[in-house]
Structure 1
Amino acid sequence: MIDEMNGINESDTWHDAIAVFTEVSASSTEATRPNIFRIAGFPRRETVSSNVLAYFFDPAEGHGLKDLMLKALLRTIHKEDMDVSDVSVSTEASTGKNNRIDILLDLPDISIAIENKVDAGLYNDLADYRSWAAKQSNNDSAIVIVLHPFNNFVLKDHPSAQGLVVEQDLFDVHYDELFSNALGMLGEYSLDADPRAVDLLQQFIDNYSPERKQKKMDNTSTDITQFVSQANGIEQQLVNVRQSFEKYTEAVRSKLQTVHADLISRWAEESPVNGKSVTLADNWEWPKRHKPFDNQYYAQSFKLEKPGSSDVDRIITCEFFFNIKFDDGYVVSDPESGSFNTIWYKAYWGGLGTDQKPTVRITNPYNETLDAKLTDSNEDIKKAVEAAVERTLKDNWNI
């Protein structure tokens, strides 16, 4: 029976299903970048947001962005002419009524009390905030800003706004308004800034920007719709592909582990370079947890030590691993240059955790194919690994 929509014969194997599966990349899809706020487990923590904002609002901090965020904030409320030559920044400032101001900015011309809202509703005594902020000001001038990520947020006639006048001493600032102004000014500030601070600011914006979050949600919906459409009628075949691939990766992992263990046992009795003094200093596998269909870089590694040498040139690490495409954080492979039967090999100066920049790479190209295939016998693979390791050590230790 033929599935006319996809042209698949139900009796066919999954090979035929995959042949007609055409992946159409969504133009808006972006890779998920590492983000410290999500990784640390506080993507929506208000105190974290306030502390990071206070850091960037303070021109004296070590970020090197000077008054970028402060100017962006003032531009948002149309007070960009304010003097920012002397700024004091504090968080959790306690008022006379024991209310706490999330961020208090004391400028030469004015004091600004910021109520930072991430998820919770507005219920604060903002008039008390302004009164306290005015006491900190040199000229009793103070305003309150409610910073938030909410659409259709209205301050006028809000219970918390009593005693204050919107757009005079009370202002409503959306996160994306602040971020837009900051990003628009970033170019002129970034050259003198600490790159890590610039990256932190970008991560903060990625994490707290409603606009960017909505875009990612839209991308997610697009990806789901795309895959459902492509997989229509061949669902079981695709499941079979995944299961078959998982069996392959587990089988290869087991095989290379056995080869690795045999070589360690052999080298414990004799040097990997015949007749020369070389010590097996350490060995490991990476990653410890194997995730099919994720990053298939899976390495078996040997750290070898040349006795009597200086620290600079006494340790070489050799790795052998498998897959068709990988990204180990230092080098991305070209999937056209390998197959599911390929074994890769590389060597570098130093041990586990070494920053594998070009200065420590030994093999050239850094990732090269081993003279053995995964379908070869364990003995043939062991001989190929030993030959590659011996060649690496002889060339670089001159032995």
Structure 2
Amino acid sequence: MNDYLGLLIAYQELPRVQRSSTFMEVAGYPHYENVCSNILAFFVDPTAEHGLGDLVLRAFLTMAGIPEASISSRLKITREHPAEQDKRIDLVIDAETFTLGIENKIYHWEANDLENYARVIQSLAAGKDKKPLKVILCLRIQADQAAPKGGFIRYTYPQLWSYVQAKLGQRLATAHPKWLLYLTDFMATTARLAGQTSEEIELTKFFSKHHELVDRLAADRQRLLNRLATTVRNILGRIVSREDISKYKRSRGVWETFTLANHFTIQGKRICIDLNGKLSGWSLVFFQLDDPIRALLPVLRQSPSLLSCFPDLEMEKEHYVLQRWPLQAQELELEEALVNAMKALIAAADALPNNLQDPTI
């Protein structure tokens, strides 16, 4: 038990993983390198309508080691730039002081002719005193991965985003809200594909370290849930044929494994008394399924028979909670309370005037 307590305390101290889906994940876009390259080409263009100026391009240059490179208006950005033998480079950015060639790698192996690409980038920079930059932009870098050919250098999306985030606050005033939202969605999507979010890393480490104890905890939890389900089935088996609680009965049975549902039809309304089992404990609830506006429930709730059995009814949303028990409550105690509640409901229904009108009218 102390092992479990320590495990739960350690888990509670982990950063919470807030993981709502990104738009790109929903659309399935990140699996296509062309889509990611198109998005990247848009955001590295300082003149594009995103309003971020040279933020993303400057982040790229800072990551590549030339943060002070000049970026003039005579910048040429080419998608699928031609190379030798009908090959194409994903993205080429040609400026007065540098030529940046980018091969975008989402999942795929580096099967490209990088030496071919390197010659093209070198030729664009040759004789013009420009610095050639040859970059493979990927999700992650393996520790044992050989250096790429052609003088290319690998960088990761998370590395790039760290430089973008460092300067993003300075551009919020001019950024177009729509494109800023798309950029942050793109950043979140690629970071998740790379498996680099710090919260997820911590969570992964936790389960890797404690997997044996977590497995034991999960097995014990399942045994406890099985016991709840057995209790519900046992009680149903003993009361299903009882005639003293069958008047007005519409249906009786197990619902979603851990609820013993008892539904009655009273003056055309569906009135329910359910016994619910959860890991937080047992509860006996009283509610009306249909037509909540013309409610019979409040009238029944005020009946002497129900008030005498359950004087302190607790309202929870549209349900009355008749009684609660801890998880270790005895099966016969739960059954007795359930039967008493159904008998009280039947007595309350018997005492109603015929064709009772809605008391709120």
Q: TM-score, normalised by structure 1?
A: 0.50
When residues 243 and 207 of structure 1 are mapped into structure 2, their CA distance, relative to the original with a 3 A threshold, is same
Post-superposition shift, 1:171?
A: 3.9
Which residue of structure 2 lines up, in the alignment, with residue 34 of structure 1? 20
Say yes or no: does 1:220 pair with 2:207: no
The equivalent position to 1:239 in structure 2, one of 222, 227, 230, is 222
In the TM superposition, what are the counterparts of 1:295-314 in structure 2 within 5 Å? none
Which residue of structure 1 lines up, in the alignment, with residue 317 of structure 2? 369
8 A Cα contact 1:114 1:145, kept in partner: yes
Post-superposition shift, 1:73?
A: 0.6
Rg bigger for which structure? 2
When residues 340 and 62 of structure 1 are mapped into structure 2, their CA distance, relative to the original with a 3 A threshold, is farther
Post-superposition shift, 1:33?
A: 0.7
Other structure's SS at 1:23 match: helix
Amino acid at match of 2:222: V
Other structure's SS at 2:85 match: coil
Q: CA RMSD in A?
A: 4.9
In the TM superposition, what are the counterparts of 1:320-331 in structure 2 within 5 Å? none
8 A Cα contact 1:21 1:230, kept in partner: no
In the TM superposition, what are the counterparts of 1:1-399 in structure 2 within 5 Å? 6=1, 23-26=8-11, 27-31=13-17, 33-36=19-22, 37-41=24-28, 45-86=32-73, 87-133=75-121, 141=130, 142-148=132-138, 149-152=140-143, 153-155=145-147, 160-161=149-150, 166=151, 170-193=152-175, 194=177, 195-209=180-194, 211-212=196-197, 216-217=200-201, 219-223=203-207, 225-226=209-210, 228-229=212-213, 232=216, 237-243=220-226, 250=256, 340-341=283-284, 369-370=317-318, 372-373=320-321
Post-superposition shift, 1:190?
A: 3.4
Structure 2: any 5+ residue segments left out of the alignment? 233-253, 271-275, 289-314, 323-337, 350-357
Mapped partners of 1:208, 1:130: distance in 2 = 27
Other structure's SS at 2:8 match: coil
When residues 121 and 231 of structure 1 are mapped into structure 2, their CA distance, relative to the original with a 3 A threshold, is closer
Mapped partners of 2:26, 2:52: distance in 1 = 25
8 A Cα contact 2:228 2:277, kept in partner: no
When residues 209 and 67 of structure 1 are mapped into structure 2, their CA distance, relative to the original with a 3 A threshold, is farther
Amino acid at match of 2:16: E
Other structure's SS at 1:206 match: helix
Post-superposition shift, 1:188?
A: 1.8
Other structure's SS at 2:141 match: coil
8 A Cα contact 1:93 1:104, kept in partner: yes
Structure 1: any 5+ residue segments left out of the alignment? 1-5, 8-17, 268-321, 326-334, 346-366, 384-389
Which residue of structure 1 lines up, in the alignment, with residue 332 of structure 2? none
Report the count of equivalent residues. Answer: 268
When residues 63 and 85 of structure 1 are mapped into structure 2, their CA distance, relative to the original with a 3 A threshold, is same
Other structure's SS at 2:57 match: helix
Other structure's SS at 2:86 match: coil
Q: Would you tell me which structure has more helix in proportion to its own residues?
A: 2
Identical-pair percentage = 18
Mapped partners of 1:65, 1:124: distance in 2 = 32
Mapped partners of 2:200, 2:39: distance in 1 = 23
When residues 245 and 80 of structure 1 are mapped into structure 2, their CA distance, relative to the original with a 3 A threshold, is farther
Amino acid at match of 2:46: P
Q: TM-score, normalised by structure 2?
A: 0.55
Other structure's SS at 1:24 match: helix
Other structure's SS at 2:53 match: coil
Mapped partners of 1:64, 1:323: distance in 2 = 55
When residues 240 and 154 of structure 1 are mapped into structure 2, their CA distance, relative to the original with a 3 A threshold, is closer
Other structure's SS at 1:53 match: helix
Amino acid at match of 1:229: L
Amino acid at match of 1:184: A
Mapped partners of 1:145, 1:252: distance in 2 = 57
| CA deviation vs aligned residue, 1:333-384 (integer Å, no higher than 9, x gap) | xx9xx98556899xxxxxxxxxxxxxxxxxxxxx96335238776x98xx9x
Other structure's SS at 1:73 match: helix
Which residue of structure 1 lines up, in the alignment, with residue 243 of structure 2? none
Which residue of structure 2 lines up, in the alignment, with residue 328 of structure 1? none
When residues 181 and 143 of structure 1 are mapped into structure 2, their CA distance, relative to the original with a 3 A threshold, is same
